[in-house]
Amino acid sequence: MARSIEIQAHDGGRFTGYLAEPAGGKGPGILVIQEIFGVNKVMRDICDGLAQQGYIALCPDLFWRQEPGVDITDKTKAEWDKAFALFGGFNLDKGIEDLKSSLAVLRKLPGCSGKVGTVGYCLGGRLAYLMACRSDVDAAVGYYGVMLQDHLAEAKNIKKPLLLHCATEDKFVPKDAQAKIAAELKNYPLVTRLDYQGNDHAFARVGGEHYDKAAADLANSRTAEFFKKHLA
């Protein structure tokens, strides 16, 4: 079952999130963090898939402070231009606070076991990393997170398991940044960083230009095992 819910922001105002629940109505929670295209079909499908696996999945609208209800694709230049404009105007710290508010709502849902993980893609991959650093989320997964090299000093705050899926040919993460991230994060035993050789950014976005089914299936299976281990 899927529906829209309202979330109270920490500093006033309300925003919405897409909520998908398993058939039994009970299970651990997973906070799904959007790409730069808003809470679109790709994100809703991810939530629905997690619900089929027995999780309560919530994808909050993180662009609500700029424009509520963004739902675009990666198919046209106009949509890409809008997506990058929203990314450029996104307040990272307020976004993390909105995710913390969403996390609290998810944990308090009647069917939620109290254990909550998070998974994010692109911008969401960056935010999933920061949620591991700045929140009490029980487990975090990031797919091809951007700009992680700017936040490596925060890795010392990671207290729960973090899994990062990284594309070796990511056009948004230069090779020197990849090397810097890998060198620093190998010092943290709670962090698992996995490379996907030859893959570009968004290799797991179904229907995307760089979608690679084999790599996506491998990453998704690893994510499923990771959440099963840490959220059960």
Active site residues: 170, 201
Determine the Cα–Cα distance for residues 46 and 23; give it in Å rounded to an integer: 16
Q: How far apart are CA 37 and CA 43, in angstroms?
A: 9
One-letter identity of residue 10: H
- The three-class DSSP label of residue 103 is helix
Residues with Cβ < 8 Å from 49, sequence gap 6 or more?
A: none
Per residue in 128-147, is it b (16+ CB within 10 Å) or e — as a string?
bbbbbbbbebbbbbbbbbbe
